[in-house]
Amino acid sequence: MCNTPNLFTFARILLIPIIIFAIHFQFYVIALSIAIFAVLTDYLDGWLARKLAQTSTLGSLLDPVADKFFEIFLLGYLLNFYEEKLFLTYFVLMTLRNCLQLSVFPVLMWWKKISFKVRPMLPAKIATGFGMAIVLVMIVNLDLQQYTLTFVMRSLFVLGIGLEVYMLVTFIPRYWLIYHGRHDTFI
């Protein structure tokens, strides 16, 4: 169903290549502005869906997919600019978690025909927000061209690594339980 909240979610996906293009051609202020707007759409889509009573199955499935694409593609592209081992570690863990979470759709819904509920809890929302914040800080750091935010970025990567490990440790057992029919809700 196409409604205003879902349009915001689609916009977030469509803005990813535009942000990458702007970063590639060193239009960092434009990239940052678009990325901030994209991050805001993550909050606007859910708020509008509830406010306008336009929640939908499509929206509840598409929103986390858009979040994961935003993180994976933008952080993957930003790998070209940073040789920091902490960033690589964070990126690998974040990508592993996001790919496992994306695998829920083809594995559980289409292959196993298992219905399940998604009730995102605070840690999942923090992990998504954290990934988006890291993207924004990295774009700002590129614009400064002196890598003056190294301490801030390293701190974010260390915290992000801890958060990703926590997310994986809690997600994988829940996936296993749902896969074997012993539970029905991702939290």
More reliable by pLDDT, 111 or 148: 111
Angle at 80 between CA 27 and CA 104, to 5 degrees: 105
74-83, 105-114, 123-132, 136-145: which range is least confident on average? 105-114
Using one digit for the tens of pLDDT, what is the confidence trace for 51-100? 988 887 778 778 889 999 999 999 999 988 887 788 999 999 999 999 99
Strands 117-118 and 185-186: parallel
Helix or strand holding residue 186 (H, E): strand 185-186
C-beta separation of 70 from 16 below 8 A: yes
C-beta separation of 15 from 135 below 8 A: no
Domain residue extents for the chain: 4-186
pLDDT value at residue 147: 62
pLDDT value at residue 148: 65
Phi, psi at 58, each rounded to 5°: -60, -45
pLDDT value at residue 164: 94
Q: What is the C-alpha to C-alpha distance for residues 131 and 136, in angstroms, rounded to an integer?
A: 9
Bridge partners of 117? Answer: 185
pLDDT value at residue 41: 92
Q: What topology does CATH give the domain 4-186?
A: Four Helix Bundle (Hemerythrin (Met), subunit A) (1.20.120)
